[in-house]
Amino acid sequence: ANPSAASRDSRVALSDRLISMVMRVLLGTIRPLTGICFEIVYRLFVKRRRVPPLESPLLGMSAVALADAIRRREVTSEAVVRASIDRMRLVHPIINAVVWERYEAALQDARRVDAMLDSDPDNPEWSREAKPFLGVPATVKEAFGLVGGTQSVGLWLRTSIRSERDAVCVERMKSAGCIPLCLTNVSELCMWWESHNRVNGITGNPYDSRRIAGGSSGGEGANVGAGCAPVGLGSDIGGSIRMPAFFNGVFGHKATAYMIPNAGQYPDAIAEGRYFMLSGPIVSHAEDLLPMVRLMAGPENSARLLIRPSDPRPDVKRLKIYYMEDSGDSIWCSPVEPRIRECIRQAAEHLRADLGLPVQKVQLRKLRLSPHLWSSKMKLSGEERFAVQMGGGVKLNCYLELIKWCLLRSHHTLPAIGLGLFEQFGSENLDRRLAAICDQLKAEMEELLGDDGVLLYPAHPTSAPYHHQPLTLLFNFAYTGIFNVLGLPATSIPMGLDHKGMPIGLQAVANMHNDRYTLLLAELLENKFGGWVRP
């Protein structure tokens, strides 16, 4: 062995430990202090607003149940769509989720559905198998193409752009009978976990308008959580479906890598980012998850996932349950709140005691590196640099933009400018070493989960923070983001409200192509713990 190399490695290890200790003290001091400041400001100077209770029982039904009722002529599609539109108009001043609407066109679509059912009620084209969401209202994240709609994704340079065709997932939703009502708000270029931009403003949480709805599919999460529509279309590259679902008390699913297409979305992944980013559903009822994933994945990928109508329902008795209450000894993420830990323990105990499933607490040490693993994989993905996207194809000078922001002259948000600056730093060698650790973690998880395992894990360490507070909690997204770079399916599952009256929950993670297990678990836990708590 080389003594000098060993001595150098020892010094590096000591230096790493010292830096870690210093950062732990700093972050352990700064986080609570900034949290207290946000608490004081918002409690004293900003009034809490909560969306009103649901006006119509139709708003509390699942999409599948609504479609069945429409099919049986117990209710008209027009009545359902009108109830959703009325609800959106009522809550919009509180949550600011809708950025473009087609309400009159949607009502015309609904009337056509009703007319077709009246004239030919037994036509097999209207069956549950052919159109599982017949006549049901849906909302769509503004990142997706919807004919005639905006697609600014919160970028000032794109305010005049209109979609000329539907995104693939929008086409598939329409073919399944969904009636799109509107497009919903996002974070700038869909790369931050609060939905705020200079074009459409900031989206509030339906349970407390002072708090975030999440991002980047925050408008979808807020709309579905507020009871405006039973189903919505989002996308997820770092938790952008699962975080809004968690913050707004509903369900969201990120599928196995490559299983749901992004075509027609902006910005789209063009290289390795296609492995990380997927379109997917946000829904208020767990029974809508499977049919939504099935229609979005398409016939070929549904066959790979074993979620076709002809595939047998998974045998719950086969499942093995593993759980973790946090990511380990990470200094970068907030501590997991006690009530969220309790949710995970309650879910695990229910599955053990009531269903007789084997349950084991585990600790995957590499998960504590989640922020670094996600970042390294993103940097090595070959995707277009964020600063180039901000400049509309020309690299934006983010240093100059930061100065303009300080002078209130910028058309960009601080998180977007910060990301444009952050991506310029780092070492490719370090990124490759971290990417190798990420690959090792994936192998460990695949071995642990096998063909019948599900991991219960926090979807986020805290309930929804106040607006702009994520700037002090930068890396909390890594609880969801890590499963994007691992390519594993993950479902966000609501588990009630915390002491602040805010939604909390967990996420269930399975091995590649085992989405059916996490979707099944969502139904089981909804049956036990109640799922979505109506505002």
Q: What is the CATH number of the domain that holds 77?
A: 3.90.1300.10
Per-residue model confidence (pLDDT) at position 501:
98
The closest alpha carbon to 412, from 426, 402, 422, belongs to 402
Q: Residue 493 is inside which H or E element, if any? A: strand 490-497
Active site residue 240: yes
Per-residue model confidence (pLDDT) at position 14:
58
Per-residue model confidence (pLDDT) at position 7:
58
Per-residue model confidence (pLDDT) at position 4:
59
Which whole-number Å values give the CA distances from 490 to 147, 298, 335, in the listed order? Answer: 30, 19, 21
Copy the structure tokens of residue 426.
Answer: 């780092």
Active site residue 216: yes
Residue 345 lies in a domain: yes
Cβ(221)–Cβ(252) under 8 Å?
Answer: yes
The closest alpha carbon to 177, from 212, 215, 133, 207, belongs to 133
Per-residue model confidence (pLDDT) at position 26:
77
- Number of structural domains the chain divides into: 1
Taking CA 269 as the corner, what is the angle to CA 266 and CA 270, rounded to the nearest 5 degrees?
120
Burial (CB count within 10 angstroms: exposed 0-12, middle 13-18, buried 19+), residue 119? exposed
Which whole-number Å values give the CA distances from 347 to 242, 261, 340, 463, in the listed order? Answer: 18, 32, 11, 18
CA–CA gap between residue 7 and residue 50 (Å, rounded): 60
Residue 534 lies in a domain: no
The closest alpha carbon to 482, from 339, 342, 378, belongs to 378
CA–CA gap between residue 75 and residue 163 (Å, rounded): 32
Per-residue model confidence (pLDDT) at position 457:
99
User: Which residues have a Cβ under 8 Å from the Cβ of 465 and sit 6 or more positions away?
Assistant: 38, 211, 212, 473
Copy the structure tokens of residue 484.
Answer: 């994007």
Residue 232 lies in a domain: yes
User: Which residues have a Cβ under 8 Å from the Cβ of 149 and sit 6 or more positions away?
Assistant: 100, 102, 140, 142, 162, 163, 183
Per-residue model confidence (pLDDT) at position 11:
59
Residue 368 lies in a domain: yes
Secondary-structure breakdown of the chain: helix, strand, coil percentages, each rounded to the nearest 5? 50, 15, 40
Per-residue model confidence (pLDDT) at position 22:
75
- DSSP string over 284-306: SSGGGHHHHHHHHHHHHHHHHHT
Per-residue model confidence (pLDDT) at position 293:
99
CA–CA gap between residue 80 and residue 60 (Å, rounded): 11
Domain span at 176: 51-385+423-529
Residue 517 lies in a domain: yes
CA–CA gap between residue 491 and residue 366 (Å, rounded): 21
Copy the structure tokens of residue 374.
Answer: 């996600």
Q: Choosing from 187, 209, 216, 334, which is the catalytic residue?
A: 216
Residue 34 lies in a domain: no
Cβ(272)–Cβ(278) under 8 Å?
Answer: no
- DSSP string over 182-193: EEE--SGGG-SS
Q: To 10 degrees, what angle do helices 103-119 and 77-95 make?
A: 160
Q: To 10 degrees, what angle do helices 77-95 and 63-71 make?
A: 150
Q: Choosing from 62, 187, 209, 240, which is the catalytic residue?
A: 240
Residue 21 lies in a domain: no
Per-residue pLDDT of the chain (535 residues; tens, 9 = 90+): 555 555 554 554 555 566 667 777 777 788 899 999 999 999 999 999 999 999 999 999 999 999 999 999 999 999 999 999 999 999 999 999 999 999 999 999 999 999 999 999 889 999 999 999 999 999 999 999 999 999 999 999 999 999 999 999 999 999 999 999 999 999 999 999 999 999 999 999 999 999 999 999 999 999 999 999 999 999 999 999 999 999 999 999 999 999 999 999 999 988 889 999 999 999 999 999 999 999 999 999 999 999 999 999 999 999 999 999 999 978 899 999 999 999 999 999 999 999 999 999 999 999 999 999 999 999 999 999 999 999 999 999 999 999 999 999 999 999 999 999 999 888 889 999 999 999 999 999 999 999 999 999 999 999 999 999 999 999 999 999 999 999 999 999 999 999 999 999 999 999 999 999 999 999 999 999 999 999 9
Active site residue 47: no
| pTM (predicted TM-score) | 0.95
Per-residue model confidence (pLDDT) at position 424:
87
CA 245 remoteness from chain centre: 6
Residue 31 lies in a domain: no
Q: Choosing from 62, 77, 131, 141, which is the catalytic residue?
A: 141
CA–CA gap between residue 316 and residue 242 (Å, rounded): 23
Point out which residues pair with 254 in neighbouring strands.
490
Burial (CB count within 10 angstroms: exposed 0-12, middle 13-18, buried 19+), residue 24? middle
Which whole-number Å values give the CA distances from 159 to 114, 137, 231, 387, in the listed order? Answer: 36, 26, 26, 18
